[in-house]
Amino acid sequence: MRSVVLFGALSALLALPDALAVKSQDFKTCSQSGFCRRGRALAARAQEAQSSWNSPYSVDPSSILILPEDSTVKAVVKSSLYPEIKFGLELRIHDDGVVRVLLDEVDGLRKRYDEAASWALVSEPKLSKGIRWAAGKKELRAVFGEKNDIEVAVNYDPFRVRLRRGGEDQIVLNGRGLLHMEHFRSQTLKETTEEVVSEENAEGQEVLQIENVRAWFEGDSEDAYWEEKFSSWTDSKPKGPESLSLDITFPNHGTVYGIPQHATNLSLPSTTGESPSYTDPFRLYNADVFEYIASSPMSLYGSIPVMHAHSAETTVGLFNAIGSETWIDIAYPTKRSTHTHWISESGIMDVFLLPGPTPEDVFAQYARLTGTTALPAHWSLGYHQCRWNYVSSDDVRTVQKRFDEEDMPVDVFWLDIEYAQDHKYFIWDHKTFPDPVEMTNEVAAAGRKMVVIVDPHLKRTSDYPVYQEASDLDILVKPKSGEGEYEGWCWTGSSSWIDHFNPASWDWWISKFKTTKIDTGFSWIESTEDIHIWNDMNEPSIFNGPEITMPKDSIHYGGWEHRDVHNINGMLFHNNTAQAVRVRSDISKRPFVLTRSFYAGSQRVGAMWTGDNLGTWDHMAVGIKMVLANGIAGMAFAGSDVGGFFGNPEPEMLVRWYQVGIFSPFFRAHAHIDTKRREPFLLDEPYKSIIRDILRLRYSMLPIWYTAFKENSVTGMPIVRPHYVMFPQDTAGFDIDDQFFVGSSGILVKPVTEKGKNEATIYLPEDQVYYDYFTQYAYRGSIKGKYVIVAAELHQVPVFIRGGSILPTRERPRRSSPLMRLDPFTIRVALSKAGTARGELYLDDGVTYLHQQGELVWREFVAEQPQKKITRISSRDLAAQNPGKAVDGVALTTYDPKNAFAKEIEEVRVEKIVILGLVWKPSSVKVEGGAELKWEFVPGVAAIDTKEGTASVLIIKDPKVLITSDWAIVVS
Ligand code: NOJ
């Protein structure tokens, strides 16, 4: 089922009041964008020509240069349309089998933007040594891979690149002949595209005709080559046409995922071909789309040009490192194949082919390129309370007090733009926030933090030191003339934007966040280390700009136009802010900086959220899909505004939204300035108590979340995982995006996102037992997959534990997560059909970078049956076994189990072990080699049974074992 619920989305939209609907006229469709129009028209001509269509691009075999040392090959590519233009092709094979394909115009009139990858990549990838390219008569080939079963072949004429595994095509570039790199040309010297041809007319007379010989490929008109109008704006396009069209085909993969951010299904709906789900291509052009639609290929705030193509046999990936506006058409010509067509406005072709063959491999390959989510501050996984706006310091104090009075855990209070005098970020409005440092200290006294917004637009007034300094340093984005400062309109009125591409801005921006006085100008002395940052509006959002953003002909550092770097822009602001927060103190601490705009690589910097969603059920549901899609493209620390940004959700909706929120990596409630207050303590019963329990559930599971973040930080595996990632061969799960797993923990969740529901249908993908997290009811899946119906009254969120998992939780309610630091653990053992289970727990101080020096605890719990009628649960040190995998990017060579952090928590004990699904009532439960323990057994269904029903539960009370030490408990 790949079709989208278009009707549902549309009808929901129609039901909204006028004020709550996207102003689609503010944003271009493909037909309003010159280069997209050209790209689609090219595809249409190819479609019409069918088999007579041939790509004009070919490799010049005489130019091939093989660099055997580096598994690299270079060659010249030419287009028969413009024989005088040369393109440089380069293919590099990385040491993990990733193939990078680069194509750029050589000695052109201008230079194409070629730095997108350098912003995205962690470092220059290591090339494989010793893979030999062989140049044959028709193609260039290299064979590699552990089993020597991967092959990359470059066909000369037409130019085409194929990645094959086991003889089967995985990814094909230019297989449909849609490659077109528009070369630079000069507007005055119109190139001769005309040729005189003679034809016979009806009377048999010879007539001379003028024919555009390139029209078959390029079309007959110079469509929007040198200028483009949209609404009241004119894009001056001084460089002329420079778009890049590229078809990428997956001949043996019938499902594609990724290319966030779009409000749509995880398994991407079609945009062309027969009865497409959408009529416009998916667009990647970071934009502040106010009141966006819950089902649409329209652009949103961030862009990651990463795609997975999946089949039951293999998964492959693709990273198209381009920073300019890009449109992507998707068609499924057959059930087992996918056509994609990428149309970008500018930039070189720089495509990374990720050979897989499993989703896990693709995540690892992409993580090696662009990095993983930096392990976040532990507190940032707690609950964040935001609204636009908490209006004064006293307001913040009252909100904090109310949370405490109602015993509701919360870690962070947020301040939106109204804290800042005239929206001059950093500058407190002292009328309402007379004592920001004292206020923050009071929040911090309960172990909590504040997050305060700092937007990228600077109010253009000389009494705002941040603007004045930036202006004096000449580090602001320039208008199209390349002189002076670009001026646009945002919350601040007349504003300018720092050009974060300019290296001169970096240290300066970092210095603004110092909490002490500096010699060189303004620093934020009215702040403390307990204040972290929210970067909003960084697409950038510009109220009076074309499509609410910066004109494409504005000029950045190095003379690049904004058009070249638009999608990367927001990431640099985010990155520089995070660096600033990290280094503002003497001992660097993990920064928390939330961003709205993002690009490939943003995951290294911090969290994102899905922007201004609506308080509708559709938006609640699509938020889950969007968070899953972000995880596919590496941006795993993600969440949506709980409650919906716009609107006043009724209590039922709010409760359901909190149930979604606690299962999002980033969990924040937020609301528009015009909405009614809706902090959870304001609700009537039973809603208030239900939300209290929901919040507590999130807090009890923080060890599971933190462990999932640690795994993601090392492997790139998403924090919330869709079915195809967990069960790549189960075709029935390919389109499932309303239920998901949390890390490798074995937790399966299906939040309810529909009104008035009291049950939910869950898909169990395997022949395994799944236990209801709350009732311990044991459900049985099936080898072919099975749907089960479970109760889902308002207070119930369907959560299951996959048989074979061990979950560490902390069940004592606290006001904030730092207060749980020394709390004991509960270990839940959910036995599998085979009577076994395993799980992990990762801990460190959650604040500093001392984990990179080995100050951490990483444990493995195992349940096994060494003999009949004996179950042994043990805990062992994983860090000592795998020091190289304990910390992202750090090869600990040894690990000391008695490190300073482990010592700090050495008295933390396991207060309870719960075992689900034992067959018999035990006769004895002992610590191995020790005394009998206190336990209680409630008989029920055993894991190894085939029956469904409430599972047997063994509760071992105070087993007298510590979380940091090795132990074993024998149940016999
Ligand atoms: C737009 C953001 O998306 C929203 O979350 C925020 O509240 C407003 N800007 C005001 O800062």
pLDDT confidence of 934, banded at 50, 70, 90? very high
Is it the case that residue 744 has pLDDT exceeding 60?
yes
Average pLDDT of the residues in 871-894? 94
User: Which token pair is 858?
Assistant: 């990483």
Question: Does any ligand 1 atom lie closer than 6 A to the CB of residue 388?
Answer: yes
Q: How far is the CA of 536 from the centre of ligand 1 (A)?
A: 7
Q: What angle do CA 165, 169, 170 make, to 5 degrees?
A: 75
Contact 573, 498 (CB under 8 A): yes
How confident is the model over 662-699, as pLDDT tens digits?
999 999 999 999 999 999 999 999 999 999 999 999 99
Is it the case that residue 3 has pLDDT exceeding 80?
no
Average pLDDT of the residues in 832-837? 98
Q: What angle do CA 243, 244, 245 make, to 5 degrees?
A: 120
Beta strands in 400-442 (DSSP E): 412-415
Answer yes or no: 157 catalytic. Answer: no
Exposed/middle/buried for residue 669 (C-beta within 10 Å: 0-12, 13-18, 19+): buried
Q: Which atom of ligand 1 is nearest to the CA of 388?
A: 7
Answer yes or no: 418 catalytic. Answer: no
Q: What pLDDT is recorded for position 192?
A: 52
Is it the case that residue 68 has pLDDT exceeding 90?
no
User: Which token pair is 951?
Assistant: 């599972």
Looking at this protein, which amino acid is placed at residue 930? Answer: G
Question: Does any ligand 1 atom lie closer than 6 A to the CB of residue 611?
Answer: yes
Is it the case that residue 570 has pLDDT exceeding 60?
yes
Q: Which atom of ligand 1 is nearest to the CA of 611?
A: 3
Residue 751: helix, strand or coil by DSSP?
A: coil
Q: How far is the CA of 480 from the centre of ligand 1 (A)?
A: 28
Looking at this protein, which amino acid is placed at residue 58? Answer: S
Concatenated DSSP letters of 287-304: ---TT--SS-----S---
Q: How far apart are CA 499 and CA 486, in angstroms?
A: 10
Average pLDDT of the residues in 562-582? 98
How confident is the model over 786-826, as pLDDT tens digits?
999 999 999 999 999 999 999 999 999 999 999 999 999 99
pLDDT confidence of 741, banded at 50, 70, 90? very high
How confident is the model over 173-222, as pLDDT tens digits?
999 999 999 999 998 755 555 566 666 666 667 766 667 899 999 999 99
How confident is the model over 384-434, as pLDDT tens digits?
999 999 999 999 999 999 999 999 999 999 999 999 999 999 999 999 999
Q: What pLDDT is recorded for position 585?
A: 86
Is it the case that residue 905 has pLDDT exceeding 80?
yes
Q: What pLDDT is recorded for position 211?
A: 77
Is it the case that residue 10 has pLDDT exceeding 60?
no
Q: What pLDDT is recorded for position 193?
A: 55
Q: What's the chain's average pLDDT?
A: 95
Q: How far apart are CA 761 and CA 788, in angstroms?
A: 6
Is it the case that residue 943 has pLDDT exceeding 90?
yes
pLDDT confidence of 5, banded at 50, 70, 90? very low
Nearby residues of 285 by Cβ (< 8 Å), 6 or more positions away? 299, 303, 325, 326, 547, 566, 567
Pairing, β 180-181 against β 168-173: unpaired
Question: Does any ligand 1 atom lie closer than 6 A to the CB of residue 416?
Answer: yes
Q: What pLDDT is recorded for position 699?
A: 98
Q: What angle do CA 501, 578, 478 make, to 5 degrees?
A: 25
DSSP state of 73: E
Answer yes or no: 612 catalytic. Answer: yes
Q: Which of 539, 738, 823, 845 is catalytic?
A: 539
DSSP state of 409: -
Q: How far is the CA of 623 from the centre of ligand 1 (A)?
A: 17
Whose CA is closest to 875, among 836, 941, 827? Answer: 827
Question: Does any ligand 1 atom lie closer than 6 A to the CB of residue 301?
Answer: no
Is it the case that residue 244 has pLDDT exceeding 90?
yes
pLDDT confidence of 69, banded at 50, 70, 90? confident
Q: How far apart are CA 868 and CA 33, in angstroms?
A: 70
Q: How far is the CA of 537 from the centre of ligand 1 (A)?
A: 7
CB atoms within 10 A of CB 156: 19
Is the sign of the CA dihedral 603, 524, 435, 464 positive or negative? Answer: negative
Q: What pLDDT is recorded for position 22?
A: 83
Looking at this protein, which amino acid is placed at residue 814? Answer: R
Question: Does any ligand 1 atom lie closer than 6 A to the CB of residue 414?
Answer: no
Q: Which of 228, 280, 325, 536 is catalytic?
A: 536
pLDDT confidence of 15, banded at 50, 70, 90? very low
Q: How far apart are CA 42 and CA 58, in angstroms?
A: 18
Q: How far apart are CA 581 and CA 270, in angstroms?
A: 42
Is it the case that residue 12 has pLDDT exceeding 60?
no
Is the sign of the CA dihedral 373, 378, 379, 384 positive or negative? Answer: positive
Predicted TM-score of the model (pTM): 0.96
